[in-house]
Amino acid sequence: MIGNDIVDLKYSASSWTRPRYLDKVFTQNEQSLIFSSENEHETQWLLWSMKEAAYKIHVQQFGERFFNPRRLVCVLISEYKGLVNIDDNRYFTTSTITKDYVHTIAKLSASKTNRSSVFKAEIASHHIQSDTLKIALLESVSKTEQLPLQDLKIKKTTIGIPELFCDNSKLSMSFSLTHCGRFSGFVY
């Protein structure tokens, strides 16, 4: 299983500076990481993207949706690698940080590599971005897995988890979609 999240640093609201926001979202250790960082804004969004990417795997694994960001506990191993613990479950994260965005991929194992893509959206409309992202994923899967593009479809489960189908048969391939502001990304 895999999850990913992207944060457009230009369009990310500075809501994290509001009173009590950090206490609702981050543990005391995570807040210490933010405030001891040279770039508090970037570090806050790094930790947020780690939580979001790991959350996507957790929901796939257990079929449980919840909103309790402090339940997801981040640990930074290095500048770009980390762990997110949710109860007794551990997720490994790798992040890419640019001047424009933070992109994090979360996995069950630290060793397995995956295909991923991040691209800038030409149009900021949420619906157009979502459709463009799905098409990009399907085209990539079609090419790498040698499956007919016209037979590939994305369908959501009753709790909103996207699944991939080929000719109406569910594929076992795990994937994750994300978009924020000007950027979109997928991983599988």
Give every CB contact of residue 137 below 8 A, 6+ residues apart in sequence: 154, 175, 177, 186, 188
Strands, sheet with 162-166, edge to edge from the N-terminal-most edge strand: 152-156, 162-166, 169-170
- Its domain, for residue 12, covers 2-113
* 3-class state of residue 19 by DSSP: coil
Q: Indicate the pTM of the whole model.
A: 0.94
Query: What does the pLDDT look like over 76-106, one tens digit per residue?
Result: 999 999 999 999 999 999 999 999 999 999 9
Q: Are residues 152 and 63 in the same domain?
A: no
Q: Are residues 92 and 13 in the same domain?
A: yes
Give every CB contact of residue 100 below 8 A, 6+ residues apart in sequence: 8, 9, 10, 182, 183
Say whether pLDDT at 113 is over 80: no
DSSP secondary structure code for residue 37 in this structure = S
Domain count of the fold of the chain: 2
Say whether pLDDT at 18 is over 90: no
* 3-class state of residue 97 by DSSP: strand
Query: What does the pLDDT look like over 29-73, one tens digit per residue?
Result: 999 999 999 999 999 999 999 999 999 999 999 999 999 999 999
For residue 169, the Cα-to-chain-centroid distance in whole angstroms is: 26
d(CA 181, CA 184): 8
Read off the pLDDT band of 123 (50, 70, 90): confident
What pLDDT is attached to residue 12?
Answer: 78
Q: Are residues 84 and 138 in the same domain?
A: no
Residue that finishes a domain, picked among 113, 145, 165: 113
